[in-house]
Chain A
Amino acid sequence: MKKIKKEDVKHVAKLAALDFSEDELRKFTIQLDKILDHVAKISEVNTEEVSPTSHVIEIKNVFRNDIVKKSISKEDALKNAPEVMGGGFKVPKID
């Protein structure tokens, strides 16, 4: 497996919407490299003709009748919001 570099960590941080200081970047580069190197052990397993498992039990789509039920109130839905305006979630300028 390829060695993890600082640039990789920066790129993944961007994808994950995280922000790291230089110190953190250095630490995470070393740690992620070690962890990913360890888990790459699975590459030695022969998985030809093995299908992947996403869930252990058989899952079917669950449907219900299209009947309107009571849901949480707008007041409750906004209760935990850091900022609210005009009955909606307020956010900074979208860039």
Chain B
Amino acid sequence: MTAHKLHNMLVKKEISCTDIAKSVLSRIEQVEVKTNSYIRVEKEKMIEEASMVDKYIGKGGTVKDFTGIPIAIKDNICTKYITTTCASKILESYVPVYNATVIEKLINQKYVLTGKANMDEFAMGSSNENSYFGSVKNPWNIERVPGGSSGGPAAAAASGEAICSIGSDTGGSIRQPASLCGIVGFKPTYGRVSRYGLVAFASSLDQIGPLTRDMEDCAGLLNVICGYDENDSTSINRKTPDFKSFLKDDVNNMKIGVPKELMVKEIDKEVKSAVNKVLMKLEEMGAKIEEISLPNLEYALSVYYIIAPSEASSNLSRFDGVRYGYRNREAKTLREMYKKSRAEGFGDEVKRRIMIGTYCLSAGYYDAYYEKAQKVRTLIIDDFKDAFKKYDVLISPTSPTTAFKIGEKLENPLTMYLSDICTIPVNLAGLPAVSIPIGLSSGENLPIGLQVIGDILREDNVLKAAYNIEKAVGFGRKPDNL
């Protein structure tokens, strides 16, 4: 059930928060062994918190949006006194002494934490196979990946192990798993949501956002988590609008561009045709649709795999076994301790990215790789700027394929990286974008997702378009064979 439906039932006193928590908990007990969505489930705390919220409501306390709603939090978002591992051995026993700003905001609403959701180590991956705590399985078919890096948050929300989830998106890490798991995933404009307390991967690209079962919960969670924060110097100091107010039936005369660079040969035929069907429906509803070209998007993947690893190599240098995290105890000298702690604490994909990043930033290569990538990033941003002079939103597939098989792309990092060709350009330009489910594949019954991209701070257009697509498609399916 969605959070807004449960909210209405709570307001009418048809259900208690304890009832909701118990039902989510029993779902977790039933399917967690199959999905592995969580690194840590907060069983007792969930019931405790829910009963406290019940008491608060009993005394006449206001039922705000998400009051008493069980929400899963990706394990790279700091929760005070609750282990935050980033799915890495190096942070296996790290206990934050503070809450991330988004957590403080959720606490203000009196949410209920279900647990810390599984993910690719340090959010690096597109399949959730890079977790020290084991792969997450797709609730639609447990032989397939849920996508990544927010595979746990997506699988939890899709399987009913949480009502909704909070994830993070650096190159598609909210939208791609949402697409593969048949739910809604939103990446807000860079700077809309405070990154304070989000363990940094690539600081110029990272953004926190919601994974939900429908657009109304998506807009509701955006209302809660967005806003200026003095603890994040990249946070945008703008008033947060009421995102729910954009969920209106109105796409008449909406101008929609379809970038041909995101409809390339790598996209599955079935995915393409599902997207095209939706475009036809939008046209019937009065939207104006045109194919456009953003020529520099062709280079987005390359730019991303220079910039993101470069920033990561710098951000992850803090994990040195001194102040927190895993330490090799045998090392005799400081330097040896650094090397061994990091070699034993990080997984292969994380090491790969640290290596790529270090190489691209190193003397002699900086200009050819890092600086060049920053320049091409400017060209990609300019392409988007030009497009948004003419169009309200852009539409593309979210992921080139439906959920692929576990192990299928693990041996070839480059093929894995291609999973994010449609989502990566959005992060490079800092734009808001959502993935919404638009259907199931014919043979395997796996979800297909569509991406709506908006201009900087124009979440309004994204929400409006996505809400109308949601209504026109009427997806409303849940994985039913778990």
The chain A residues found within 8 Å of chain B, CB to CB, are 1, 8-9, 12-13, 15-20, 28, 31-32, 34-36, 38-43, 45, 47, 50-57, 59, 61-62, 64, 72, 76-77, 79-83, 89, 91-95
Contact = CB atoms under 8 A, between A and B. Distances in A.
B372 A47 contact: yes
B242 to A, nearest CB: 22
B430 A13 contact: no
A55 B428 CA distance: 9
Contact of B381 (A16, A38, A53, A76): A53
A40 B368 CA distance: 8
B414 A38 contact: yes
B236 A16 contact: no
Contacts of B352: 28, 31-32, 35
Interface stretch (B152-160, B262-270, B318-326): B318-326
A8 B97 CA distance: 40
Given A15-B358, A55-B204, 11 more contacts: A16-B354, A28-B352, A35-B352, A38-B302, A39-B302, A47-B372, A47-B376, A51-B378, A89-B322, A91-B337, A93-B333
B273 interface: no
A32 B359 contact: yes
B375 A47 contact: yes
A19 B306 contact: no
Nearest 9 pairs of A and B residues by beta carbon: A56-B430, A52-B374, A80-B324, A82-B327, A19-B343, A47-B375, A95-B333, A39-B302, A76-B97
A42 B306 contact: yes
A62 B230 contact: yes
Given A35-B414, A54-B204, A43 B368 contact: yes
A34 B422 CA distance: 21
Nearest to B311: A54
B122 interface: no
A93 B231 CA distance: 35
Contacts of B356: 32, 35-36
B362 interface: yes
B354 to A, nearest CB: 5
Given A72-B97, A80-B324, A45 B296 contact: yes
Contact of B339 (A18, A38, A47, A91): A18
A51 B375 contact: yes
Contacts of A64: 230
B378 A53 contact: yes
A50 B378 contact: yes
Interface in B302-321: 302-303, 305-306, 313, 317, 320-321
10 contacts: A17-B317, A17-B342, A28-B352, A39-B373, A80-B97, A81-B324, A91-B337, A93-B333, A94-B333, A95-B335
Most chain A beta-carbon neighbours within 10 Å: one of B98, B334, B346: B334
A41 B325 contact: no
A77 B342 CA distance: 21
Contacts of A57: 190-191, 234, 236, 430, 456
B369 A39 contact: yes
Contacts of B98: 72
Contacts of A15: 358, 362
A51 B378 CA distance: 7
Interface string B325-354: 111000111111111101100100001101
B323 A80 contact: yes
A79 B368 contact: no
Contact of B362 (A12, A34, A61): A12
B388 interface: no
Contacts of B317: 17
B355 A32 contact: yes
B110 interface: no
Most chain B beta-carbon neighbours within 10 Å: one of A15, A17, A35, A56: A56
Contacts of A40: 302, 368-369
B299 interface: yes
B474 interface: no
Most chain B beta-carbon neighbours within 10 Å: one of A53, A64, A83: A53
B464 interface: no
A8 B109 CA distance: 52
A65 to B, nearest CB: 11
B234 A59 contact: yes
Contacts of B337: 91-92
A61 B288 CA distance: 42
A65 B372 CA distance: 38
Given A17-B339, A50-B379, A42 B95 contact: no
Contacts of B190: 56-57
B358 A41 contact: no
Interface string B128-161: 0000000000000000000000000000000000
A91 B94 CA distance: 18
A36 to B, nearest CB: 7
A29 to B, nearest CB: 10
